């Protein structure tokens, strides 16, 4: 951490910074320049954050120079992690296709979507029983009945289940049905929920908040990890920008950046980032090529009657094309092909 003093800071101001740092058990190095003085801090950065040095008189800026997360960082854990979900490994050397309906609507629709997904090479089924919707008038999901349907479809198809949890007090219930808990983009700052899934003993799929920086995304993962759960898969799903041609802007560079900063696997959701069916396959190819550990796509047997996000769901013919991509591209990146 580096404290940059204002040009008009006095010796007393500098001394006050040094004193506070030393009182917290850190060391402070003072470098005096022509127009400004810089104080470099050595020690426990977390403690320094709580010192609120920025509020001291004469302080112009406080610059952090190391990462504020630890458990999920690659600096503290250089080897990449593999997260296993219902027997399916996600991480180096593998490529995982997760697919399913945005929302679980009925046993028939869910089974049909799961069979489509499986035929395309998906090894995990994703479907929503609890749906966070911007409008209180939109379909909110089937709740526990949806979880039961997912469990039945798992029994029928053998695909482990990934499903979203939106409230801390549903975590236990959802975890009793699901193989992996999904945290959606709107809950990336719902810290109580993050802590609850951290304690639930199931792997977690953590979507990036739609306005979260990569650092904040890793901090959200740190909340989960802190409760003893390191089985976390990060998922880039597009960020909010000024561009309106797509639903969100897929930040494709976030994949290698997050993989460089963290040992956790990183997946991509090409369905929610583009929000358009015709973009799913190009964005899936981009995600595989950039080095993602997997992708997450919406499929629906009849998208035109879907209760949620129909415009972005893949249909049968799209899935055949996607399957071809998932067989062909991952091996070029040193990953096992998807057996679709």
Out of 133, 152, 158, 176, which residue is the one contacting a second copy (CB under 8 A)? 133
CB nearer a second copy, residue 60 or residue 157: 60
- Considering only 81-89, 93-101, 175-183, 185-193, which stretch makes contact with a second copy by CB under 8 A? 185-193
Q: Which stretch binds a second copy (CB under 8 A): 89-97, 111-119, 150-158, 272-280?
A: 272-280
**229-258 positions binding a second copy, by CB under 8 A:** 239-246, 249-257
Tokens at 314, concatenated: 């893949």
With contacts defined by CB under 8 A, name the span among 31-39, 114-122, 156-164, 172-180 that binds a second copy.
Answer: 31-39
Report whether 293 contacts 124 (CB < 8 A): no
Running DSSP on this structure, what letter comes out for residue 67? Answer: -
- Chain positions 205 to 234 lying near a second copy, rule: CB under 8 A, are 210-211, 213-216, 219, 222-223, 226
Burial grade of 111 (CB within 10 A; 0-12, 13-18, 19 or more)? middle
Q: Give every CB contact of residue 305 below 8 A, 6+ residues apart in sequence.
A: none
**By C-beta, is 133 or 158 nearer to a second copy?**
133
Stretch touching a second copy by CB under 8 A, among 90-98, 116-124, 175-183, 271-279 = 271-279
Q: Round to whole Å and give the CA distance between 78 and 45.
A: 20
- Using the rule CB under 8 A, which residue among 10, 31, 144, 176 binds a second copy? 31
CB of 243 to a second copy, least distance (A): 6
Query: Minimum CB separation from a second copy for residue 87, in Å?
Result: 29
Residue 273, helix vs strand vs coil: helix
Identify the residue among 98, 171, 273, 293 touching a second copy (CB under 8 A): 273
Least distance in angstroms from the C-beta of 158 to a second copy:
29
Q: Which of 181, 279, 296, 322 binds a second copy (CB under 8 A)?
A: 279
Q: In angstroms, what is the minimal distance from the CB of 252 to a second copy?
A: 4
- Cβ of residue 160: shortest distance to a second copy, in angstroms? 26
Residue span 52-71 as binding mask against a second copy, x where in contact by CB under 8 A, dash where not: x-xxxx--xx-x-xx-xx--
49 near a second copy, judged by CB under 8 A? yes
- The smaller minimum CB distance to a second copy, of residues 86 and 238, is found at 238
Cα–Cα dist 173/177, whole Å:
7
Phi/psi for 259 (5° steps) reads -65, -25
End-to-end CA distance of the chain: 50
Binding residues for a second copy restricted to 296-335, rule: CB under 8 A: 303-307, 310-311, 313, 328-329, 332-333
Burial readout 130-151 (b: 16 or more C-beta within 10 A, e: otherwise): bbeeeeeeeebbbeeebbebbe
Angstrom CA distances, 24 to 10, 49, 100, 330, stand at 22, 11, 51, 49
**Which pairs from 175-178 meet CB under 8 Å and 24+ separation?**
175/200, 175/201, 175/202, 177/147, 177/148, 177/150, 177/151, 178/147, 178/150, 178/202
135 near a second copy (CB under 8 A): yes
Which CB atom, from 31 or from 144, has the smaller least distance to a second copy? 31
Determine the Cα–Cα distance for residues 326 and 288; give it in Å rounded to an integer: 8
């Amino acid at each position: 951490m580096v404290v940059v003093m204002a040009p008009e800071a006095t010796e007393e101001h500098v001394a006050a910074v040094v004193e506070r740092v030393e009182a917290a058990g850190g060391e402070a190095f003072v470098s005096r320049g022509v127009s400004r003085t810089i104080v470099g801090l050595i020690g426990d950065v977390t403690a320094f954050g709580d010192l609120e040095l920025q509020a001291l008189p004469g302080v112009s800026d406080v610059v952090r120079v190391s990462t504020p997360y630890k458990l999920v960082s690659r600096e503290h854990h250089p080897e990449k992690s593999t997260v296993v979900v219902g027997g399916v490994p996600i991480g180096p050397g593998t490529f995982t296709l997760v697919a399913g309906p945005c929302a679980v609507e009925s046993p028939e629709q869910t089974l049909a979507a799961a069979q489509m997904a499986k035929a395309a090479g998906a090894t995990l089924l994703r479907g929503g029983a609890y749906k966070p919707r911007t409008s209180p008038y939109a379909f909110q999901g089937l709740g526990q009945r949806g979880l039961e349907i997912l469990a039945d479809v798992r029994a029928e198809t053998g695909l482990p289940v990934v499903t979203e949890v939106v409230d801390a007090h549903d975590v236990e219930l959802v975890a009793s049905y699901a193989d992996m808990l999904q945290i959606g983009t709107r809950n990336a700052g719902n810290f109580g929920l993050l802590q609850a899934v951290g304690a639930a003993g199931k792997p977690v799929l953590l979507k990036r908040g739609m306005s979260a920086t990569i650092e904040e995304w890793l901090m959200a993962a740190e909340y989960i990890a802190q409760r003893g759960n390191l089985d976390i898969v990060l998922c880039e799903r597009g960020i909010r920008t000024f561009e309106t041609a797509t639903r969100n802007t897929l930040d494709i560079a976030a994949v290698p950046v997050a993989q460089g900063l963290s040992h956790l696997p990183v997946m991509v959701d090409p369905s929610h980032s583009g929000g358009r069916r015709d973009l799913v396959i190009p964005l899936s190819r981009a995600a595989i090529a950039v080095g993602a550990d997997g992708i997450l796509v919406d499929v629906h047997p009849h998208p035109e009657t879907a209760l949620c996000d129909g415009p972005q769901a893949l249909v049968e013919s799209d899935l055949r094309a996607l399957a071809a991509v998932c067989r062909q591209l991952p091996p070029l990146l040193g990953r096992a092909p998807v057996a679709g």
